[in-house]
Structure 1
Amino acid sequence: MIVIVAGLNVFPIKSAGAVPVAEAELTTDGLRHDREYMLVRPDGRHLSQREVPELALLRPDYDGVKLVVHTPLAASPLVREAVDGPPLDVTVHRRPCQGMDQGDEAAEWFSEVLGLPCRLVRFAGTRPTALGGGTLTYADGYPVSVLSEESLDDLNRRMDARLPMARFRPNIVLRGLGPYGEDSVTRLRGDQVEIELIRPCGRCVIVNTDQDTARRSSEPLRALARYRTERFGGTREIMFGRLGVPRALGALRAGGELTAS
């Protein structure tokens, strides 16, 4: 089946806002620069919108050299060149990994903006995926997330208010699969790229956070729980979208075609 890449999103800082892009390079760790940075507490634990919804209001832009972060929470943006600072031991969901500290200026800016002590780190080392033999940076468990427009349309028909795709923070938005068609897809192939979809994407309270205001409600998690709760790996999760691992690397373009199988 031929499907359209309806959108591409890169998240330079884990749990912060998205950067919609027209083209992205697919690397072994996902879209280039995705989740390359992360904010951590003094003990090294990662910051997430689960506990700090205001992270949604950070709007980062990163070209591989310079990180610029705008937010309505600060009078002026952070402008910071990437540095190979001292390595820090950090964790993502209690799993150890490493990051290069980005300095006191960045730490002070983020701490003031968010109202709690934190530091900015840039990914270092390697992290394996739980399944599929892939690697990733600071994403929760897999380097690529996929969701179809039709699945969101179906969810919105079940709710009183329509939600934008931004609530679900996918790297790749697809069109042409039909509602929940991604559930049965195992491969996405293009002229250069190939992605193996490994498992369903379990959802948490982050989808209840308005990405423009940081306000949190009970939806859409409550609506999804009524018909998208599944058992995977011995636990029950609310599933919406799929997670994958790159198998062939190259450029992805919004508006381009992929073969889903």
Structure 2
Amino acid sequence: MLRVSQLFIYPVKSLGGIALNNALVTDRGLRYDRRWMLVDDNNRFLSQRELPQMALFKPALHKQGISVTYTPDQSSFLIPFQPQTTTLDTFTVWDDSITGQYVSPAADEWFTQKLGVNCRLAYMPDDTQRQTDLKYAQPGMITSFADAYPFLLIGQASLDDLSNRVGHAIPANRFRPNIVFTGGESFAEDELAHFSINNIHFYGVKLCVRCPVPGIDQDTAERQKEPLKTLAGFRRRLNKVYFGQNLTHVGQGTIAVGDEMEILKVKEAAVFE
């Protein structure tokens, strides 16, 4: 039996995550997940790929908004749930052009000062409908400012397997999942084509290609060889390394740690070089 063991959201794209005991599944993923992002002067998203120090910004949920603490000096900034401007613009995430809204000049100033890079904070309003890649999703399946999909799923058994190979514990935050589950064999997530949690249906559409971010310690922002070096030894295909599975979904409601995952359809296991 598979059960949800951890839930995470990442309110500001590529900053730290928040662990939750329960989470609301919305039309575009978990509530608040990647609804904000920092962009450069060309309105392109910023990420830990180029700026590993983004890991040092830790968010927390408050009644008034998302509080972000910059750990080196413990200063913080409150991002209100609703932007303080009405200014819309077009922002870029990979090949997608997305309509978003600037949050406030104060947010831009604070993040620019702490990050050391000129940037602005953008928000995705509810009426922005970003279609998920139609090669892997049906029309009307939307996502947030996430790289491409509304959910990332990994199994605890897979994390344990990888940790054993590396020789020390690899925390889930290296892979930035939304859902972690217990039960099943290592890399069971690869084979999950369709499952449900509380009558919300999830579809495993694409194994996740890993970028350099899993090599960044999320507490120190230090770049490290592991776990990517080890992963490349047994999870490589066509010069890409895979860990976890991207999900689309149908339905809305609440999921919680401890919920059972009902497997409805499986697919063939992936073959690696």
- Equivalent residue, structure 1, for 2:252: 249
**2:198–2:259 CA contact under 8 A, matched in 1:** no
- Equivalent residue, structure 1, for 2:220: 213
Q: What code does the residue aligned with 2:68 have?
A: V
Measured in 2, the distance between the counterparts of 1:237 and 1:158 equals: 19
Work out which of the residue numbers 190, 195, 203 in structure 2 matches 1:183. Answer: 190
- Equivalent residue, structure 2, for 1:127: 130
Deviations 1:28-67 (A, max 9, x none): 2111110000000011010000001111111112458522
User: Structure 2: which 5+ runs fail to align?
Assistant: 265-273
Q: What code does the residue aligned with 2:153 have?
A: V
- Equivalent residue, structure 2, for 1:51: 50
| TM-score of the pair, normalised by structure 1 | 0.94
Deviations 1:98-128 (A, max 9, x none): 2110111100100010001000010131211
**1:146–1:171 CA contact under 8 A, matched in 2:** yes
Q: When the two structures are aligned, how many residues end up with a matched partner?
A: 256
User: Structure 1: which 5+ runs fail to align?
Assistant: none
**Which 4+ stretches in 1 moved above 3 angstroms?**
62-65
Q: What code does the residue aligned with 2:257 have?
A: A
1:191 to partner: Cα distance: 2.6
Measured in 2, the distance between the counterparts of 1:194 and 1:156 equals: 30
For residues 85 and 61 of structure 1, do their structure 2 counterparts lie closer, same or farther at Cα, with a shift above 3 Å needed? Answer: farther
**1:9–1:171 CA contact under 8 A, matched in 2:** yes
> Is 1:172–2:179 an aligned residue pair?
yes
1:75 to partner: Cα distance: 4.7
Q: What secondary structure, in the 3-state scheme, does the structure 1 residue paired with 2:46 have?
A: coil
- Equivalent residue, structure 2, for 1:6: 5
Question: Over the residues paired in the alignment, what is the CA RMSD in angstroms?
Answer: 1.5
- Equivalent residue, structure 1, for 2:157: 150
Measured in 1, the distance between the counterparts of 2:2 and 2:168 equals: 27
Measured in 2, the distance between the counterparts of 1:75 and 1:40 equals: 23
Deviations 1:130-163 (A, max 9, x none): 1212210100010000000000111111113221
Measured in 1, the distance between the counterparts of 2:19 and 2:120 equals: 25
> Is 1:96–2:97 an aligned residue pair?
yes
Percent identity for Structure 1 against Structure 2:
32
